[in-house]
Amino acid sequence: MTGPLSMLNPGWLMIAVGLVALFLPMRRVRQGLTIATPIIAIILLALADQNVNHLGVQALGIDFIFYRVDGLSFIFGLAFLLAALLNAIYAWHTDDRLQDGMAMAYAGAAVAATFSGDMMSLFVFWELTAITSVFLILRAGTRAAYFASMRYLAIQILSGVLLLAGIAYVYHSRGDLSVQAFTSLKEPGAILVFIALGIKAAFPFLHNWLQDSYPKATVVGAVVLSAFTTKLAVYAFARMFPGHDALIWIGAVMTVFPVFFAVIENDLRKVLAYSLNNQVGFMICAIGLGATGVGNALALNGASAHAFCHIIYKGLLFMSMGAVMYRTGTTKASELGGLYKSMPWTTVFCIIGAMSISAFPLFSGFAAKSLTMSAVGHEGYTIVWLMLLFASAGVLEHSGIKIPYFAFFGHDSGKRVKEAPFNMLLAMGLAAFICVAVGIPAIVPGLGYEWLYNLLPYREEAMAYNPFTLDHVLTQMQLLVLAIFAFVMLKRLGWYPPEKPGVVLDTDWVYRKAGYGLFTWAGTIWQKAGPAMTSVFFKLTGRAYDRIEDTFSPRGELARGGLGSAMAIWTAILLGLVLLLAFITSS
């Protein structure tokens, strides 16, 4: 395709539309735009030539590459665009200019970042995702949401600042800024970029912003947020750090530790936030396997496919919880239950999402996760493999069973509400359709899972891979059946953590409570000591000022004395000094 449209980064189009939507009072026109734009963007993307720099500018000594598509960015960009479309449909029942505009701009920023070919424009859109997304949390309007959004913004901006510092270093040492893989983690620039990406990907101990903010966002906001920020970081890792061993272990830890929090957490949206963390762990782990041997293609394919499917099914789960929240006003497990009677469609869609995330065969998660698991098995990382296995069981436990069970079944809460609005059901239905469509075997060649595999960065390797082999299906079914069995057993025996309201302490307690306490303490001390220090300070500066004025002012020392005489003496003194110096140095 040629012409000016082919040079247009679809993300830019979306950002522009988002900005327009921000000021567009006509509700239906605005929402029509937000639905039409992702569709147009998908068409633009599908028509774009790959591995070509579509739009670049040379300025300030940097080669800016604004739009470049290749296999890796294509699949991520497509997933982002699909998510943006579903989100727009899901938001149809609301009338909120700020939310519509910011959601669109946020999605656009993520897409634009994905297709950026240089680190400087990546950085710009990286920051833009932070700034636009914070409104989705803020819009919830609660006090908790306000503080959470400020913490969120601070951490996101920190990530951006670190990225910028890293970019500066890279530019200094490398001399160009094209996005390319780092060969070693030793240089400071690589470390800075690594940490910056790590914050966005919610690495262990850098993850708290995610669980802190997502559950506090608006109904639509949480759905939108779940799709972009972390997956953009995953994309950036796949681009810049494939095959770094550190990622394998970080990813493995990431998959395991949220399981414990998720199992005992009461707020179902927070459970989803923890499971988001765990899912990203799978992808990070796969990227870490990236560059060694055969694993390379398999693992990167796994990460990409997983990200694609994950965006859809995690969106679906957040949508179903959003629908519950919209109708009942809460997502606390202790206050829900028995909703399957009043919200049957939502229940079905939620179960499809749950089965996808748990990687049941015939659902999208299976097609994606098999790639990663095979890659890990291939490479012989037994411990990692076991950790991922445990995490898979955990996923089933907290996302696959806990979410639908406590929301729609379990003990009856007595709530009788209406079914979710049609637009929500439509969005969920579409998402569920994608989950199933890319999960089923390729009965018609080119459809089913093969459709997804066809889009992966390493296409040949992906097409050669068959997830529906006996051992894959068998291993997965064993795992799932046993996990379900364990859930049933624990539930029967009453050992499963009951749905109780409460606060789960995570590591963010350290800075939110202890750190805050330290600051208040320091503030009190400062208040006490402050006035005393201020008076001392003013006395000292006042004295210094008097001294300076005495010397320099028109009535001061320097201006005193006869006009000529002082200077004549100075002239003589200086002459003497220069003469003396000349004699000393040359003798």
φ/ψ of residue 53, rounded to 5: -80, 110
Site for another protein in 520-559 (CB under 8 A): 548-549, 551-554, 556, 558-559
Q: Based on C-alpha coordinates, what's the Rg of the chain? A: 30
Q: Secondary structure of the chain: what % helix, strand, coil (to 5)?
A: 75, 5, 25
Q: Does 579 bind another protein (CB under 8 A)?
A: yes
Residues 181, 247: Cα–Cα separation, whole Å: 14
What is the rounded CA–CA span in Å between residue 26 and residue 46? 30
Considering the rule CB under 8 A, would residue 61 count as an interface residue with another protein?
no
Choice between 445 and 554, CB closer to another protein: 554
Separation of alpha carbons 436 and 420, rounded Å: 21
Distance, CA of 212 to CA of 574 (rounded, Å): 70
In this chain, which stretch among 172-180, 307-315, 364-372, 562-570 interacts with another protein, using CB under 8 A? 562-570
With contacts defined by CB under 8 A, name the span among 72-80, 191-199, 461-469, 569-577 that binds another protein: 569-577
Q: Which 453-472 positions form the footprint of another protein (CB under 8 A)?
A: none
Interface region with another protein, contact rule CB under 8 A, candidates 151-159, 284-292, 474-482, 574-582:
574-582
Residue 79 tokens, joined: 């997933």
Find the shortest distance in angstroms from Cβ 176 to another protein: 25
For another protein, the binding residue among 46, 482, 533, 575 (CB under 8 A) is: 575
Minimum CB separation of residue 549 from another protein in Å reads: 6
Classify 396 as helix, strand or coil.
helix
- Directed axis angle between helix 422-437 and helix 344-357, to 10°? 30
Instruction: Select from 341, 331, 315 the least CA-distant residue to 403.
Output: 331
Shorter beta-carbon distance to another protein: residue 175 or 564: 564
Name which of 341 and 547 has its Cβ closer to another protein. 547
- Residue whose CB is less far from another protein, 5 or 579: 579
Stretch that binds another protein, among 83-91, 250-258, 453-461, 564-572 (CB under 8 A): 564-572
Three-class DSSP category at 178? strand
- Residue 567 binding another protein, by CB under 8 A: yes
User: Interface residues for another protein in 196-255 (CB under 8 A)?
Assistant: none
370 close to 379: Cβ distance less than 8 angstroms: no
59 dihedral zone (left: phi>0; alpha: psi -120 to 50; beta): beta
Q: Which stretch binds another protein (CB under 8 A): 107-115, 264-272, 378-386, 578-586?
A: 578-586
Q: How far is the CB of 535 from another protein (least distance, A)?
A: 24
**Cβ distance to another protein smaller for residue 294 or 578:** 578
Identity of the residue, 172 or 341, whose beta carbon is nearer to another protein in the bound complex: 172
Q: Which of 205, 433, 538, 570 binds another protein (CB under 8 A)?
A: 570
* Closer to another protein by Cβ: residue 26 or 558: 558
Q: State the nearest-atom distance from the C-beta of 326 to another protein, in Å.
A: 52
Structure tokens at 456: 């992966």
Is the distance from CB of 237 to CB of 196 less than 8 angstroms?
no
Stretch that binds another protein, among 279-287, 417-425, 506-514, 576-584 (CB under 8 A): 576-584
Q: Which stretch binds another protein (CB under 8 A): 11-19, 175-183, 282-290, 579-587?
A: 579-587
* Vertex 75: Cα angle to 74 and 76 (nearest 5): 95
Question: In the beta sheet, which residues pair with residue 57?
Answer: 64
For residue 48, the SS3 value is: coil
* Minimum distance from residue 548 beta carbon to another protein (Å): 6
| Minimum distance from residue 577 beta carbon to another protein (Å) | 6
Report the 10 Å Cβ neighbour count for 519: 11
By CB under 8 A, how many residues form the interface with another protein? Answer: 28
Residue 356: closest CA among 397, 408, 305, 317? 317
Tokens of 586: 């040359």
Q: How far apart are CA 170 and CA 192, in angstroms?
A: 10
Identify which of residues 143 and 555 has a Cβ nearer to another protein in the complex: 555
Among the listed residues 449, 298, 308, 272, the one whose alpha carbon sits nearest the alpha carbon of residue 367: 449
d(CA 178, CA 49): 19
Q: Using the minimum distance from each CB to another protein, give the nearer residue, 2 or 587.
A: 587
Q: Which is nearer to another protein, 538 or 545 (CB)?
A: 545
Residues at the site binding another protein, with contacts judged by CB under 8 A = 548-549, 551-554, 556, 558-559, 563-564, 566-568, 570-571, 574-575, 577-579, 581-587
